[in-house]
């Protein structure tokens, strides 16, 4: 693997150019890859594997929306789509992509479907790292591996279709066959990763849970709401408040960051914006640093894990979740956002 300098720290990465799709096909030619769960990550990974020519089937509970989605996506009941346990018994690579709470519920039956030499694949380190709470302890005679795309399942598919690929981390928890690493990297390429970087199950889950609750989702959502409310409180219209808080970020500035970094984005903004951002960035950094310390500790000690398992396992979880999401959707801020999105040029043409 080539070594890349990441800001003075050298890491080994695997790119799709050096580890070709043809090489992945050769390594996985005798494998039956089973996607267990067709919710968030399942569709993107399954469809990418299918389009790349791998032998892939889907295991999903019959009769629900996810089963119907798999059928719509081209998986055929009785041929490439089966109930979860039946699918698991057919596979040599079991991609365990159910929700974390769903993995806990189904694990006793999935464990019985594993044969010596199979690979148990995760896209999140949660169930293995927090085994005291999940009780997911794989048998010793299988490979236990991880490929974790750094994006939503939707973007795993979108990036594949536009040819860009998505970055993924990979890890080996247990190498029974001696082939775990080549299997893992081949699977990472097969699902459409642009490049893969090495991690551990523990580091993946600690960084992932922190990121989701922090900058990627929780912090972003809360910070947006705070700024929007300040602007509205001071007499700015919903349209102005939303544009200055969300629209300019998502439609302009974040794209500049993605292209060449934060300094490049700063250098391509007005001098007034540059000065203000440079002055205020350290104040925001210092203000939220204690919150991030508390968040990371909550992840590391398993408090976040217990919260997830307790809440997501409740029989009325989906109903309560929808109440929370509806409250967000119906808030003035996001109703303003809906109106702003309709006014984008590409949407006005529809």
Beta carbons within 8 Å of 339's beta carbon, 6+ residues apart: 238, 239
Q: Which among 187, 181, 110 has a CA at the least distance from the CA of 147?
A: 187
Handedness of CA 195, 201, 207, 212 (dihedral sign): positive
Beta carbons within 8 Å of 24's beta carbon, 6+ residues apart: 52, 185, 186, 187, 189, 190
Catalytic site residues? Answer: 124
Q: Which among 45, 86, 294 has a CA at the least distance from the CA of 193?
A: 45
CA distances in angstroms from 267 to 258, 262, 270, listed in the order given: 14, 9, 8
Distance CA(19)–CA(289), nearest Å, equals 39
Q: Write out the two tokens for 90.
A: 């057919």
Distance CA(7)–CA(16), nearest Å, equals 22
Question: What is residue 57's three-state secondary structure?
Answer: strand
Q: Write out the two tokens for 69.
A: 């989605």
At how many degrees (to 10) do helices 271-300 and 303-312 cross? 80
Supply the Cα-derived Rg of the chain in whole angstroms.
22
């Amino acid at each position: 693997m080539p070594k890349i300098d990441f800001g003075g720290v050298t890491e080994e990465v695997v790119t799709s150019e050096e580890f070709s799709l043809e090489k992945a096909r050769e390594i996985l030619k005798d494998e039956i890859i089973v996607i267990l769960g067709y919710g968030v990550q399942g569709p993107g990974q399954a469809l990418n594997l299918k389009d790349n020519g791998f032998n892939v089937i889907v295991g999903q509970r019959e009769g629900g929306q996810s089963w119907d989605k798999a059928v719509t996506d081209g998986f055929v009941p009785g041929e490439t789509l089966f109930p979860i346990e039946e699918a698991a018994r057919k596979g040599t690579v079991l991609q365990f992509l159910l929700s974390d709470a769903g993995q806990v519920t189904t694990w006793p039956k999935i464990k019985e479907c594993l044969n010596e030499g199979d690979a148990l694949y995760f896209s999140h380190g949660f169930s293995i790292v927090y085994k005291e709470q999940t009780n997911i302890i794989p048998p010793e005679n299988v490979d236990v591996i991880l490929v974790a795309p750094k994006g939503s399942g939707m973007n795993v598919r979108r990036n594949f279709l536009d040819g860009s690929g998505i970055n993924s981390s990979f890890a080996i928890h247990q190498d029974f066959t001696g082939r775990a690493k080549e299997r893992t990297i081949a699977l990472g390429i097969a699902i459409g990763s642009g490049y893969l970087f090495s991690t551990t199950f523990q580091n993946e889950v600690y960084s992932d849970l922190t990121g989701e609750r922090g900058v990627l989702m929780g912090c972003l959502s809360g910070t947006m709401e705070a700024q929007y409310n300040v602007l509205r409180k001071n007499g700015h219209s919903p349209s102005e408040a939303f544009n200055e808080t969300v629209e300019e970020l998502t439609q302009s500035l974040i794209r500049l960051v993605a292209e060449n970094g934060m300094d490049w984005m700063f250098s391509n903004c007005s001098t007034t914006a540059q000065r203000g951002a440079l002055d205020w960035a350290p104040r925001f950094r210092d203000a939220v640093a204690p919150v991030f310390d508390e968040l990371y500790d909550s992840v590391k000690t398993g408090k976040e894990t217990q919260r997830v398992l307790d809440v997501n396992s409740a029989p009325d979880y989906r109903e309560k979740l929808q109440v929370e999401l509806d409250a967000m959707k119906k808030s003035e801020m996001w109703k303003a956002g809906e109106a702003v999105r309709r006014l984008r040029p590409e949407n006005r043409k529809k």
